[in-house]
Structure 1
Amino acid sequence: MKRLFCPWRIKYVVSEKEKDCIFCKKLLENKDEENLILLRGRFNFIILNLYPYNNGHLMIVPYEHTNDITKLDTETLMEMMRFLQLSVKALKETMNPHGFNIGFNIGEVAGAGIAEHLHMHVVPRWNGDTNFMFVLGETKVIPEDLQSTYKKLKPVLDRLYEEEKKSQESS
């Protein structure tokens, strides 16, 4: 058996796990860059996934702490879809992916890592992004660090959000 050493993961493995909702906690800290929060709207925010499937993997999260999509009001759902459009545009502009996986994991049995707070995943995909490391070693290689991805996406999302607001005001 071959081994891949990732000593930076030990910090997560041995750390005490959060008892409070990590999304709600990060929102209250007002440390957006440190917490990888890319954009705050009226009802939702966009955050990079701390444990991404691919570079640019982000999540759209409602402020409302719920795990039930049927409890979200129309305004929250509409903004969530607008943020999805902005996210796809920003990822296309900055990272040029060939496609996307977009969706929710609702409930622990469905694979939700944070089951108590609903969130939508947006995962950019490239031809060949699953290689021998993943297939044989069950290891995903993420070539760009999260802070670099944040610095790439943040100004583009800010610009697109402002353009959208101006467009809505003039309508």
Structure 2
Amino acid sequence: MSSEPETPDGTAGRPAVEDARDFAGVPDDTQRLWTPHRMAYIGGENKPEDPHDDAQCPFCAAPKRTDEDALIVHRGKSAYVILNLYPYNAGHLLVCPYRHVSDYTDLDEAEVLEVAELTRTAMRVIREVSAPAGFNLGMNQGEVAGAGIAAHLHQHVVPRWPGDANFLPVVGRTKAIPILLADTRRLYADAWPELA
């Protein structure tokens, strides 16, 4: 007789292999928010076939549309601020250069300065309108780094609040947004400071 405990499949000394499919739908401590509508983004429904073709790039096309239609909050000289169509959190803005460039090191000095200044102003506007407790700022450089449109550089400005979740929504790409994008765009555009 073996001194090792017997496993559920009757074999002593070896743990039973569990099939994860046996646990689908079994309640646990994890609360899940199912968002099947995000499959359009995950599947690349609105992604350009050729990301290097300026004519197909959504960040090149947006400035050619009205601010309301494109969800543009502010237009600068070499960069603009737009709401993310697939936000990680309410009020998620993108700061984009007009020029179709993929790498941060390829920005010219004026673009670097304006992207930085628009990011700072975006934070101030979001604080005034939405009162977040903090921000996630950053650029995903390349598809492997998580860039949805890697061919056109864009800086993320994501407001954060206590209890809004952890960093998982940014990584897992799942989030409930309590305000319509058009309403957020209007609030932020109205609060954007006029330049002297």
TM over 0.5: yes
Matches of 1:150 and 1:68 in 2, distance apart? 27
Matches of 1:15 and 1:101 in 2, distance apart? 26
Deviation at 1:145, TM superposition (A): 1.3
Give yes or no for the alignment of 1:107 onto 2:142.
yes
When residues 152 and 69 of structure 1 are mapped into structure 2, their CA distance, relative to the original with a 3 A threshold, is same
Matches of 2:145 and 2:108 in 1, distance apart? 23
Matches of 2:72 and 2:159 in 1, distance apart? 18
1:169 corresponds to:
none
2:57 corresponds to:
21
**What are structure 1's unaligned runs of at least 5 residues?**
167-171
- Which amino acid is 1:21 matched to? C
SS in 2 for 1:34: helix
Deviation at 1:11, TM superposition (A): 6.7
Report if the CA contact (8 A) 2:35-2:174 is conserved. Answer: no
Q: State the TM-score, normalized to the length of structure 1.
A: 0.81
Aligned residues: 157
Identity rate, percent: 45
Deviation at 1:9, TM superposition (A): 5.3
Matches of 1:118 and 1:15 in 2, distance apart? 20
When residues 110 and 6 of structure 1 are mapped into structure 2, their CA distance, relative to the original with a 3 A threshold, is closer
Q: State the TM-score, normalized to the length of structure 2.
A: 0.71
2:127 corresponds to:
92
- Superposed CA offset, 1:80-106 (max 9, x none): 111011101100000000000001000
RMSD, matched Cα: 2.5
